Structure 1
Amino acid sequence: MINPGQILQQQYQAIQLIGYCGFGQTWEVDHSGTIKIMKILQVPRAIEDEEMDQVISLFEQEAKVLKQLHEPGLPKVEPQGYFIWSEAGNEPLHCLVMEKIEGINLSDWMEQVHDNQPIEEEQAIAWLTQLVEIIGKLHQHHCIHRALKPRNIMLRSSTAENSNHNGAKQPSGSYRNLPTEEASQQTNRKASRANNLSSISITEKSVAQQTVAQPGNHPEKTRETLDQKQEVENEKYRTDHQQHSQKQKWGQLALIDFGATKQVTETYLRQFEGKDATEMISQGYTSPEQYEGKITRQSDVFAIARTIVYLVTAQDPGNLPTDPQSGRLMWRHRANQISKTLADLIDEMMANLPQCRPQTTEDILERLANYNQQVQVEVKSTQKKQPVPAKKNYLPDSPLQQKILNFKGKSQETTQFHAGTFRPNS
């Protein structure tokens, strides 16, 4: 296709080939001193025109979706990031340039940073929430990733060091080690909240003045409405602050390897059913329906759950046993730090049948939002009193005592011995 050092569009210089994706390649390129990722699609002449058009259409749709979604969990694509490049005598190349996410993938993070130790429940919840939110954004644009696994999930370098269980974590609210954009966003949120509160205060004063001047007003109802608006604004601020604190503490995750991403419509799903979808198989993370050549939105949900299992057990799901009757993955015995409530949700997310998994990401997020309250109830219900040590039964110390014990046994009486003496039970 292209060679190292070659320049495309007079601005992208190819550095090195880093992988293959479907009908194309993935390259690392230099764009005005910034390293980026460029996916190149070259459709072979051997395939039929209809299939070629479909492949190109899906590639264009992927570019369109990534340009629309400006999410920290997805690589950014500039407005001019998609283009068609050709040179004399060669087939045209469809190119998509996107942000290179700096950081470490979760597989390497577990091995190199976390010493192959299971993560705790709080971190598992934070990362599960992030992954579900990111996938939810893709699903809203009718995209299915299809290749989710620890190696395709990056922990951005700006926050990666904070997620190390051996390192000191930043206190909540600190802007240190945050990307400039995130710090700016939080500052803007605080300023916006201050402005909103000020405007509410001004409104209250003006309403109070009008109430005195104009008969027929109801200051109690007006104040109640203002209090409700302020509470909504405060709740939104608390939610944003909590999410920001969690990302600062545990790091921001981002998805990569969009070579497997498919733009999905209901028509396309029906057309795809029964066809080969096994080129992106990852043992332990790929859903059962993908082995049969079928894809659904719940396929991504399955892969997220398997990724969390890997993180909380430090074991590859493909190496864990399954129940011979139900086919369920047997992992809970390796994750005693995970509560039953969260474990039940994870098991449901990776049910064998897609229709048995949560049907929307909103459902998962709602259940996670209520998680803390559920766990508190669960902990109280499972608390048990310390067991009382059983009394020690002393054995006879001498042949005489043994004979007496045998004699008593024949008469169906039990004899206990203590400190060299015996005492019949009454």
Structure 2
Amino acid sequence: MTLCINPNCPNPHNIDAHLFCQGCGSELLLEGRYRVTKQRGKGGFGSTYEVRLRQAETKILKVLTDNLPKHVELFQREAFLLSQLHHPGIPAVEDGAYFTYYAKNRSEPLHCIIMEHVVGLDLQDYLRQRGQPIEQRLALQWLIQVVEILQVLHQKHVLHRDIKPSNIMLKAEGSLALVDFGTARSVTNISGDPSGQAGTRVVSSFYTPSEQMYGQAVAQSDFFALGRTFVYLVTATELGKLYDSTTDTLKWHQAATDLTPEFTDFLDYLMMPAVNQRPTTTAEILQQLQQLQTSSSSIPTVPLADAPAAFAEEKVDEDAAIPPSRQIQTPRKLDEQFVERCQKELAEFIGPIAAIVCQQALATDPTASERDFIEVLSRHINKHQDADNFKRTVK
């Protein structure tokens, strides 16, 4: 099935054999190579579709249906910025990704961008399906990924300006991608001084800091939105329910009682009301995240004086050989490549949540055998036949 992207088409559905729409006469093979197969979304000033490139890979088509000069400028800016940014966490675009398309009997063109198809769920949809907050360990992992993406942007003097859960994608294999660069902006300097940085106002309720509402977005504006995003993820609560209008802050600590005080303070640091109260650079944030990750993963040791009496009373002859049955065996951890392969294969059956399932399985039994690990993962696959196929694939 091929879809016509003419907004005024009375019947946009066509069979693949057609080169022109049977409903309005518009050309179906865009740029001589793209066929539109499915509409993914519609709203604001445009629509998004899945397109197929000559029976091969699937890509995403963004179409601007509003030709106001400012909207066209933002749309073209997005295409240019994406062409300059190269990172696994940023949707890739190729040369010629931006083009204009004239539908039948339409005087104004449709502005189009072809970009990488990021397979997965945005974090807002992910959390809704998960039904519970993410744990601190996962939050730290995800924060590091997003900040590393932001580091690429900021080093190119680009501000995203619309970071929120719906603009971060969890890919099927477990990594994150930052999407929707329609409001991103290049600036001459993102040193943290908001003076002279006036620009188009971009506002997402509860995620946008005050300076950005006045057209003064800076690097720290992205940090504020990032902090708000992770408050949502670690509380699984819409920010509007946590917002205190009398203080213009979020009252969120009681909704996330499983976090360490250090991590709670860190998220508050990202969301400080004044620009100069927040972190200065992505490098500073990454350094603090690494420290938090190290402290979170450290395992407290039991002092010898506090050891159980059974061990304290037992006397061992240091010169005697210890029988193999009494020797302490170091728990063997699963091979990282094996776990990664299991996660990738599991994602084929249950989607992006496979990353969480694998992490939870490892946390529950870090010393599980490969066979037991596979068995635990297979229980998350609804269909018995699919579960069997998964087991055969990863053995």
TM-score in terms of structure 1 length = 0.56
Over residues 341-386 of structure 1, what are the superposed CA-to-partner deviations in whole Å (9 max), with x where a residue is unaligned? 1111110111112222112111100111222455689x89xxxx9x
Confirm or deny: 8 A CA contact 1:82 1:96 kept in the other structure: yes
Match of 1:2 among 1, 6, 15: 6
Over residues 236-285 of structure 1, what are the superposed CA-to-partner deviations in whole Å (9 max), with x where a residue is unaligned? xxxxxxxxxxxxxxx20112222222233359x87762x6614xx33222
2: CA distance between counterparts of 1:41 and 1:295?
Answer: 25
2: CA distance between counterparts of 1:146 and 1:94?
Answer: 22
| Counterparts of residues 313-328 of structure 1 (less than 5 Å) | 313-322=235-244, 324-325=246-247, 327-328=248-249
**In 2 relative to 1, CA 16–374 (structure 1 residues): closer, same or farther, beyond 3 Å?**
closer
Confirm or deny: 8 A CA contact 2:74 2:182 kept in the other structure: no
Deviates more, 1:340-349 or 1:10-19: 10-19
Partner of 1:96: 113
Q: Which runs of 5+ in 2 are unaligned?
A: 15-27, 307-395
| Counterparts of residues 84-163 of structure 1 (less than 5 Å) | 84-86=100-102, 90-112=107-129, 114=130, 116-157=131-172, 159=173
2: CA distance between counterparts of 1:60 and 1:151?
Answer: 22
Partner of 2:366: none
The alpha carbon displacement at 1:126 in A equals 0.3
Over residues 51-102 of structure 1, what are the superposed CA-to-partner deviations in whole Å (9 max), with x where a residue is unaligned? x4x7655544432332333322111112232234446862344321001211
1: CA distance between counterparts of 2:44 and 2:219?
Answer: 20
| Counterparts of residues 93-242 of structure 1 (less than 5 Å) | 93-112=110-129, 114=130, 116-157=131-172, 159=173
Match of 2:290 among 343, 346, 369: 369
1: CA distance between counterparts of 2:187 and 2:42?
Answer: 22
2: CA distance between counterparts of 1:2 and 1:127?
Answer: 39
2: CA distance between counterparts of 1:258 and 1:21?
Answer: 16
The alpha carbon displacement at 1:294 in A equals 3.5
Partner of 1:259: 182
Q: Aligned Cα RMSD in Å?
A: 3.3
2: CA distance between counterparts of 1:28 and 1:262?
Answer: 26
Higher relative contact order (CA 8 A, sep 6+): 1
Partner of 2:60: 37
Confirm or deny: 8 A CA contact 1:328 1:351 kept in the other structure: no
1: CA distance between counterparts of 2:281 and 2:50?
Answer: 35
Verify: 1:70 aligned to 2:93, yes or no.
no
Confirm or deny: 8 A CA contact 2:77 2:182 kept in the other structure: no
Confirm or deny: 8 A CA contact 1:22 1:260 kept in the other structure: no
**In 2 relative to 1, CA 2–323 (structure 1 residues): closer, same or farther, beyond 3 Å?**
closer
Confirm or deny: 8 A CA contact 1:124 1:312 kept in the other structure: yes
- Give the structure with higher Rg (CA): 1
| Counterparts of residues 398-417 of structure 1 (less than 5 Å) | none
TM-score in terms of structure 2 length = 0.60
Over residues 81-138 of structure 1, what are the superposed CA-to-partner deviations in whole Å (9 max), with x where a residue is unaligned? 22344468623443210012111121222222x2x22221111100111111112212
Confirm or deny: 8 A CA contact 2:159 2:184 kept in the other structure: yes
Q: Which has the higher helix share?
A: 1
SS of 1:9's partner is coil
2: CA distance between counterparts of 1:2 and 1:124?
Answer: 42
**In 2 relative to 1, CA 139–55 (structure 1 residues): closer, same or farther, beyond 3 Å?**
farther
Verify: 1:308 aligned to 2:230, yes or no.
yes
SS of 1:7's partner is coil
**In 2 relative to 1, CA 39–263 (structure 1 residues): closer, same or farther, beyond 3 Å?**
farther
Confirm or deny: 8 A CA contact 1:21 1:259 kept in the other structure: no
Confirm or deny: 8 A CA contact 2:134 2:233 kept in the other structure: yes
Matched-pair identity in %? 39
User: Partner amino acid for 2:92?
Assistant: K
Confirm or deny: 8 A CA contact 1:7 1:13 kept in the other structure: yes
**In 2 relative to 1, CA 27–90 (structure 1 residues): closer, same or farther, beyond 3 Å?**
farther
User: Partner amino acid for 1:123?
Assistant: L
1: CA distance between counterparts of 2:133 and 2:126?
Answer: 12
2: CA distance between counterparts of 1:290 and 1:359?
Answer: 16
Over residues 156-175 of structure 1, what are the superposed CA-to-partner deviations in whole Å (9 max), with x where a residue is unaligned? 11x2xxxxxxxxxxxxxxxx
The alpha carbon displacement at 1:299 in A equals 1.9
User: Partner amino acid for 1:140?
Assistant: Q
1: CA distance between counterparts of 2:180 and 2:243?
Answer: 28
Partner of 1:203: none
| Counterparts of residues 274-285 of structure 1 (less than 5 Å) | 277-278=201-202, 281-285=203-207
